[in-house]
Amino acid sequence: MPKKPSLRSSVKSAAVLVLAAAWCSSSLAQTAPNAWPQKPINVIIASAAGGSADVLSRIVLDHLSKATNATFVVSNRPGASGNIGMTQLSRAAPDGYTLGYGNINTLAVNPGLFTKLPYDPNGDFIPVGQMFSTYNVLVVAADSPIKNVDELIATAKKNPGQLSYAAAGIGSSGHMGGELFKKMAGIDALFIPYNGDPASLTDLAGGRLDYTFSNISVAWPLVQSGKLRALAITSRERIPQYPNLPTLNESGLEGYENVSWGGLLFPKGTPQPIVEQLSAALEKVMKTDSIRASLANANASPGTGTRDDFVRFISSEQKKWAQVIESANIPKQN
């Protein structure tokens, strides 16, 4: 007959099994990442509530929330051309519970425009992905004798330095697009900064300006009401929402593009698994018909590409606008 195990050996075997189970449990607890997110995520948007950047960001965050079951809480921190909000983001705890919104101004224009920034656009943040792109439109007054881009360029060349154009402040997307237009068209025109597009469009309709580069969401209602005439959109290709509106790229300025874009960022030091998880979710959301329709209703298009594509895009935009700032002799801001 087989020998029965002693009580001592049975207890010893049981103890070994308990210890082994405890070790495995401890090991898994140390190596398996905690489920993320476990609480609401604060999103710092360095622009005013109700503005284009805020509205478009909230659209994307709403879709992203539904896709991930995460809760996003927006904190608007406008001021100093976005520098206030970006500085706050750079100092946030890198625990995965603070996100930020970065755009053409804070990540690409400001590095070449300001003497010194309170944040490092390339070192203080980890890009997650691009959320959207929106566009400016080149407009003149409805009663202007200028009917198209060729006529505007011809008029400017006949009257060097006499035409005036406006945009929403120094360093704004409209300002940068206007200076790029001057450079590529070989014209000279006086730039007049305004505190927002609505004021400049009012003066344009009243004949106090010759043309403006304005956000299409703000300008288009005035085009539809017959107060302004749209000459071209600043996207590389025509936009489905405005199939009859030509681009500057096809109006003799080959290669012209001036896109207002925005994306999500984590502060430097955020765990890589969290970055990759949110990046993958955002990339998936950007490919859905629902986000495309939602953004189209707000005159925007979804971001494209991967997180690495967004990193490369930011770098190319920095170089592009630094060259425009230098060639236009735009004074450095403090």
Q: Phi/psi of residue 2, each to 5°?
A: -65, 145
Residue 179 lies in a domain: yes
Which stretches of the chain score pLDDT less than 50?
1-2, 7-32
Residue 117 lies in a domain: yes
Residue 28: predicted pLDDT: 36
Q: Would you call 238 exposed, middle or buried from its count of C-beta atoms within 10 A (0-12, 13-18, 19+)?
A: middle
Residue 253 lies in a domain: no
Residue 278: predicted pLDDT: 97
Contact between 217 and 297 under an 8 Å Cβ cutoff? The reply is: no
Cα angle 308-238-245, degrees, rounded to a multiple of 5: 145
Residue 44: predicted pLDDT: 98
Which CATH number characterizes residue 309's domain?
3.40.190.150
- Amino acid symbol at 143: D
pTM for this entry: 0.84
Are 149 and 220 contained in the same domain?
Answer: yes
Radius of gyration over every alpha carbon of the chain, rounded to an integer in angstroms = 26
Residue 52: predicted pLDDT: 86
Are 229 and 269 contained in the same domain?
Answer: no
Residue 60 lies in a domain: yes
Of 197, 214, 233, the position where a domain reaches its end is 233
Residue 74 lies in a domain: yes
Of the CA atoms within 13 Å of residue 59, those in its CB half-sphere come to 27
Which CATH number characterizes residue 161's domain?
3.40.190.10
Domain count for the chain, please give it. 2
Residue 57: predicted pLDDT: 96
Residue 230: predicted pLDDT: 98
Of 198, 218, 233, the position where a domain reaches its end is 233
Residue 222 lies in a domain: yes
Contacts of 52 (CB under 8 A, 6+ apart): 134, 215, 217, 218, 260
Residue 11: predicted pLDDT: 40
Q: 296 is in which domain, residue-wise?
A: 41-133+260-327
Residue ranges of alpha helices (H) inside 159-306 are 173-185, 197-205, 216-224, 272-286, 289-296
Are 62 and 95 contained in the same domain?
Answer: yes
Are 162 and 96 contained in the same domain?
Answer: no
- The answer to whether the Cα torsion of 161, 166, 134, 264 is positive or negative is positive
Are 175 and 323 contained in the same domain?
Answer: no
Residue 19 lies in a domain: no
